[in-house]
Amino acid sequence: MIEAVVFDMDGVLVDTEQVWDDVREELVRERGGRWHEGAQAAMMGMSSVEWSRYMHDDLGLVEQPDEINDEVVRRMLARYRDELPLLDGAVTAVERLAAAFPLALASSSNRPLIDAVLVAAGIAAHFAATVSSEEVASGKPAPDVFLEAARRLGVEPSRCAAVEDSSNGLRAAHAAGMRVLALPNPHYPPAPDALALATAVIGSLAELTPALVRG
């Protein structure tokens, strides 16, 4: 029986994958790095430690990874202050599920970005636990962030449902042993093998109901 729900954030609650792409590409091109078409896909799901190292090692930024991380977060927060790109139905979906289950959030975003989004959307109080992949050993597709979210909730991973949009997120939730609900990102669709790990696939957050979660 499902006892709790763990949300991803980017691509599930906020339509931010393109924002991440824009910010990181802009920074790489400004600083004379080597941006390429596969860079965003490569970094999806990585923790901040992992993607900032990737931008240094693979994309050619001369700044140290911690400096790269800080600058990207600064630019992302500025974008959020200008406009928070909430997905249609995100707030309602969180409120609907919070009435039936304890909720957690397991995100690849940095802690300041998680907090900023949840506060700006007015849904922070609905989450009993929030985890950034910078707070665990490895980012997605490793299961660490989902396992930590379940631990903080005090619920066995096998009794949690996870809502994810990306290939690495779907793989991470499945590896954690959770029931996987997929909301495929139309801009960065998950790979077929990753989508096949989902118990259910939905086209919008309006379809995310307690009945669907319970299966």
Global pTM exceeds 0.85: yes
Residue 6 and residue 173 in contact, taking contact as beta carbons nearer than 8 Å? yes
Q: What is the pLDDT of residues 145-165, one digit of tens each?
A: 999 999 999 999 999 999 999
Phi and psi at residue 194, in whole multiples of 5°? -75, -40
pLDDT band at 40 (very low <50, low <70, confident <90, very high): confident
The predicted structure's pLDDT at residue 17: 84
Residues 6+ apart with CB under 8 A from 77: 112, 113, 116
> Is the backbone of residue 70 left (phi > 0), alpha (psi -120 to 50) or beta?
alpha
Please say if the pLDDT value at position 44 is more than 90: no
Residue 164 and residue 205 in contact, taking contact as beta carbons nearer than 8 Å? no
Q: With b meaning 16 or more CB within 10 Å and e meaning fewer, what string describes 45-83?
A: bbbbbbbbbbbbeebebebebeebbbbbbebbeebbeee
Residues 6+ apart with CB under 8 A from 35: 25, 28, 29, 59
Distance CA(99)–CA(13), nearest Å, equals 17
Using the 8-state DSSP alphabet, how is residue 85 labeled?
A: -
Alpha carbon distances (Å) from 148 to 65, 113, 114, 160, 192: 25, 18, 16, 12, 27
pLDDT, average across residues 97-117:
97
Please say if the pLDDT value at position 186 is more than 90: no
Please say if the pLDDT value at position 41 is more than 90: no
Please say if the pLDDT value at position 100 is more than 90: yes
Distance CA(79)–CA(98), nearest Å, equals 28
Q: Locate all alpha helices (DSSP H) within the chain, ordered by sequence.
A: 17-30, 39-43, 48-57, 65-82, 90-98, 111-121, 144-153, 167-175, 192-195, 210-214
Domains recognised in the chain with CATH numbers: 4-15+85-214 (3.40.50.1000), 17-82 (1.10.150)
Q: What is the pLDDT of residues 73-90, one digit of tens each?
A: 999 999 999 999 999 999
The predicted structure's pLDDT at residue 188: 85
